[in-house]
């Protein structure tokens, strides 16, 4: 099983929407997926619940750090939802190491039951993010194209406590940064300029889709994505033409990310089982 963590130290960048899209897409490609929501706000849990992603649910995400570990239902799509108790873990410093150990134990226990674990994290730098990154295989960072978010990339990489480089060096040498994923991208001059700034400053961290110049993974700003989140729907199943058009734009980026996380994943034309 591969574990993909969505992380960004700034809220409002579409991180949970990307986590939801990745969970849907990986399952659509025939993989067994478990989604874990470590953000107490539950922005991954809400759309997956509405979509009937996992019934019955297996405890809640707080149990993954404190125990007892939940017994998961026999399903290829399981949600371990957010819970208010997640807010209190940062205030228990003597238990931080046991929290991390318990979460790793959980991932080890379900390793043979799933192909991918998608973990959504909270934006504030606390023990939940450390726990996730300390056991993850891959981390993907959605970012918004504004100066505040661009400045946040430095913190994402170099934060003294939860920076990807620190986690990789001290706690988890296998951790791979998939890259930066610009979200809420609009075809305006301002956004195009910011996109160029991201490419110029962080070119090695971008996710190329093809050899063509400037062809990097991105998620456009489309109202239908927010509608899909609110209604618990998959974009490609929505009846609106705008939703289907948005899916055509988004699918190549999700496909590339999926292939990085799961290198053995077959291309859609190779007989992957759709759901």
CATH of 2-262, picked from 3.30.70.920, 3.40.50.300, 1.10.3720.10, 3.30.1300.10, is: 3.40.50.300
Per-position DSSP letters for the chain, written without gaps between them: -EEEEE--SSSSSSHHHHHHHHHHHHHHTT--EEEEE--TT-TTHHHHHHTT-SSS--S-TTHHHHSPPPPPPS-SEEEE---GGGGGGGG-GGGHHHHHHHHHHHHHHTTTT-SEEEEE--SS-SHHHHHHHHH-SEEEEEEESSHHHHHHHHHHHH-TTT-HHHHHHHT-TT-EEEEEEEESB-SSHHHHHHHHHHHHHHGGGS-BSSSSTT-B---B--HHHHHHHHHT--GGG-S-HHHHHHHHHHHHHHHHHHHHHSTTPPPGGGT----
User: What local confidence, expressed as pLDDT, does residue 191 receive?
Assistant: 81
Residue 100 predicted with pLDDT over 60: yes
* Confidence bin at 268 (pLDDT 50/70/90): low
24-33 tens-digit pLDDT: 999 999 999 9
- Distance between start and end Cα atoms, the chain: 19
CB-based contacts of 275, cutoff 8 Å, min separation 6: 27, 28, 30, 76, 77
Contact 100, 67 (CB under 8 A): no
Cis peptide, bond prior to residue 70, ω within 30 of zero: no
pLDDT tens digits, one per residue of 145-159:
777 766 667 778 888
Q: Is the pLDDT of residue 202 over 90?
A: no
State yes or no: pLDDT of 213 exceeds 70. Answer: yes
Indicate the average pLDDT of the chain.
89
According to the model, what pLDDT value does residue 138 have? 97
User: pLDDT for 223-238, tens place per residue?
Assistant: 999 999 999 999 999 9
Burial of 169 (0-12, 13-18, 19+ CB in 10 A): exposed
Tokens of 138: 């891959």
pTM confidence score: 0.92
**Mean pLDDT, residues 50-64 taken together:** 84
The pLDDT assigned to 273 comes to 41
Percent of the chain's residues with pLDDT above 90: 65
* Distances in whole angstroms, Cα of residue 219 to Cα of each of 49, 108, 223, 274: 23, 32, 12, 22
pLDDT of 193 reads 83
Q: How far apart are CA 15 and CA 144, in angstroms?
A: 10
Instruction: Taking residues 35-41, report their average pLDDT.
Output: 95
Q: If pLDDT is split at 50, 70 and 90, which confidence band does 274 have?
A: very low
Residue 270 pLDDT level (bands cut at 50, 70, 90):
very low
For the CA atoms of 185, 178, 126, 85, the dihedral, rounded to the nearest 10 degrees, stands at 80
Assess whether pLDDT exceeds 90 at residue 121: yes
């Amino acid at each position: 099983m591969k574990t993909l963590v969505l992380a960004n130290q700034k809220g409002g960048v579409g991180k949970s929407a990307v986590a939801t899209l990745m969970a849907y897409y990986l399952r659509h490609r025939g993989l067994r997926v478990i989604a874990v929501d470590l953000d107490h706000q539950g922005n991954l849990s809400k759309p997956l619940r509405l979509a009937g992603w996992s019934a019955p649910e297996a405890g809640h995400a707080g149990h993954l750090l404190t125990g007892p570990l939940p017994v998961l239902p026999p399903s290829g799509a399981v949600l371990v939802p957010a819970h208010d108790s997640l807010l209190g873990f940062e205030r228990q410093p003597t238990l931080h190491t046991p929290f991390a150990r318990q979460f790793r134990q959980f991932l080890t226990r379900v390793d043979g039951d799933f192909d991918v674990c998608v973990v959504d994290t909270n934006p504030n730098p606390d023990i939940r993010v450390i726990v996730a990154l300390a056991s993850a295989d891959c981390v993907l960072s959605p970012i918004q194209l504004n100066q505040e978010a661009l400045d946040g990339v430095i913190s994402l990489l170099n934060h003294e406590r939860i920076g990807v480089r620190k986690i990789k060096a001290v706690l988890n040498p296998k951790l791979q940064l998939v890259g930066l994923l610009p979200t809420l991208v609009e075809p305006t001059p301002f956004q195009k300029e910011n996109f160029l700034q991201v490419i110029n400053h962080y070119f090695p961290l971008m996710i190329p889709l093809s050899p063509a110049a400037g062809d990097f993974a991105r998620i456009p700003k489309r109202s239908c994505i927010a509608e899909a989140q609110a209604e618990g729907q998959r974009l490609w199943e929505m009846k609106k033409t705008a939703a289907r058009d948005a899916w055509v734009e988004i699918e190549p980026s999700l496909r590339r990310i999926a292939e990085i996380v799961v290198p053995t994943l077959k291309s859609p034309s190779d007989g992957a089982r759709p759901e």
